[in-house]
Amino acid sequence: MYKKEVLKNGLRLITIPLKNSRSVTILILVATGSKYETKEINGISHFLEHMFFKGTKKRPTVRDISETLDKIGGEYNAFTSKDVTGVWAKVATPYMETALDWAADILLNSKFEEKEIEKEKGVIIEELNMYLDTPASYVTDLFEELLYKNQPAGWKIIGEKENILNLNREKIVKYWNEHYTSENTVICIAGSFKPALIKKKVMKFFKDLKRKPTPSKAEVKEVQTKPEILIHSKNTDQTHLCLGVRAYNIFDKRREALTLLGVILGGGMSSRLFLSVRGENALAYYISSSFEANPDTGYLVTHAGVKNESVHKAVELILKEYRDLKEKKISQGELKKAKDYVKGKLALSLESSDAWASFYASQEILREKILTPEEKIKRIEKVTINDIKKVAEDIFLPQKLNMALIGPFKEEDKKIFEEVLII
């Protein structure tokens, strides 16, 4: 059973003792990401995450940072999303204090040297180039850009090249000072450890994390009256597309029903879309559907890579399944199958200490409310056939429909796609 405490400095600590585990994961999540940025500094959250690995007073070099955990066989990394920045370390149980020291050091004592900032600009630009050359991933960014346009929710997490080149130490230190505060941070420790000692150890390393007001993010505005399309012209051998609808945020009571609807559509190799688009018509290698939700907004999206000459046919098949869910009730057997799928996936996803840490900490940082796996399953079990029908009727509407695609098409092809985009 997990335990949540708020420490003296406002830091939230979640502990999850796991029997039979030989490892400990330390996950630190900070409520900051690209949604908290302005246009001028878009990409700074991600850039700052990189700078945590460039040296501290105690560990002055990149090698010193990495070698600390490499020499004990630890695993570690960091990540940035639109809402959250995270740093984590997973080590064998005897090295827990080393990992705590390391995590606190890079978060609280990084030097952010100007020379290292200049060097890292090249690394991040190459990361951006790699991402832009991976259409299966990049099309998701384009889909969110289509949904949210020119506001933080629609910008790239990594930022644009011009912004990356314009960042400097003053901007980075200012952003770090404003956002990396105790009340804005969750520390989660999962695995094999002595619960009685953990609070004292965390305070030992994180006592200098200050309590101060933290900036809020801009409210996301959603305005749409008809189906919208974004075409990114690229000479590809395969068209990558995201076709979906605006939906619900993580606080909405309909999210479990929408999760199951996404599974029915495109969760697994026996889902409706997989069987139709790939199995029966052989138009795609990959196709899936999922419900993506955050504190501000949410959407259901189908993600696929299809033959260039068969895009229109694939889109028609996807939309047919959308319409069928809106117009006809699913069977009891299909509902049970979707519920069992979600329960099985949840069980499989919680097989390691890092998975448990992520499960609990992400809920706390995003929702400030934690549901146990058992509580999540209870909510899933309560969903009815009528619940799914009502959700389908609510979301599968022309004014909520969006499609982004990357392929050998031009802007004038929009008109052709608009004729197909009927729901």
* Residues noted as catalytic: 49
Strand partners, 105: none
Phi, psi of 149 (to 5 degrees): 55, -145
Contacts for 371-377: CB closer than 8 Å, 24+ residues apart: 372/2, 373/346, 373/347, 376/346, 377/343, 377/346
Distance, CA of 163 to CA of 155 (rounded, Å): 12
Distance, CA of 159 to CA of 263 (rounded, Å): 32
The distance of Cα 54 from the centroid of its chain, to the nearest Å, equals 25
H-helix or E-strand spanning residue 364: helix 353-367
Closest CA to 88 of 180, 25, 16: 25
C-alpha pair distances (Å), 255 with each of 81, 271, 361, 373: 21, 19, 19, 15
Distance, CA of 275 to CA of 284 (rounded, Å): 11
Question: DSSP class of residue 152?
Answer: G
Q: Length of the chain, please? A: 423
C-alpha pair distances (Å), 234 with each of 133, 359, 410: 10, 37, 9
Distance, CA of 177 to CA of 318 (rounded, Å): 47
Are 94 and 84 in contact by the 8 Å Cβ rule? The answer is no
Max CA separation in the chain (angstroms): 66
